[in-house]
Structure 1
Amino acid sequence: MNSKYELIMYWSKEDQCFIVEVPELPGCMADGATQSEALANAQRVIDEWIETAKELGREIPEAKGKLIHA
């Protein structure tokens, strides 16, 4: 994983796969049959999200790491 964005991973019983959300990048999420696959797909989607934002001249949020403190 090259990005430093916070990732939230959970099992979706409804979809029968692992879901990874990237809260700092609106709408950026991925899935996979295994945790490893979901993480790899998330990195690909993050890269695509950033590439698309650059092409459209949109601001790319800086990775802040953990967003919520317990």
Structure 2
Amino acid sequence: MTQLKYSMVIQWSDEDDCFLVGFPDFPGQQWRTHGDTYELAVSNGIEALESLIMAYEATGESLPEPTVCKAA
């Protein structure tokens, strides 16, 4: 999917005993999915982002602009 240009934040949570995954460019809940390992969090994050994009497209809602970092 070519639209996966969004930042994905993966952070360990002692409280939840797992890695939490969020997408700061999308408004709403801070965390969208999780994983028991970092690798699983990445995989689940990609699936969640694809699903989130499809949901925006299905409702005709405009996707937010992705945050772009510029290298020096």
- State the TM-score, normalized to the length of structure 1: 0.80
CA deviations on 1:12-55 (whole Å, 9 max, x unpaired) are: 11111001110102236210000010011011011101101111
Task: Mark the runs of 5 or more structure 2 residues left unpaired by the alignment.
Answer: none
More deviation in 12-21 or 25-34?
A: 25-34
Given candidates 35, 39, 60, the residue that maps to 1:36 is: 39
Q: How many residue pairs align between the two structures?
A: 66
| Structure 1 segment 51-66 matched on structure 2, within 5 A | 51-66=54-69
Letter in 1 for 2:22: E
Q: Which runs of 4+ in 1 moved over 3 A?
A: none
Q: Which residue matches 1:6?
A: 7
**Take 2:39 and 2:6, find their aligned partners in 1: how far apart are those partners?**
17
- State the TM-score, normalized to the length of structure 2: 0.78
Task: Mark the runs of 5 or more structure 1 residues left unpaired by the alignment.
Answer: none
State the shift of 1:9 in Å.
Answer: 1.3
Q: What's the RMSD between the two structures over aligned residues?
A: 1.9
Q: Which has the higher contact order (CA 8 A, sep 6+)?
A: 1
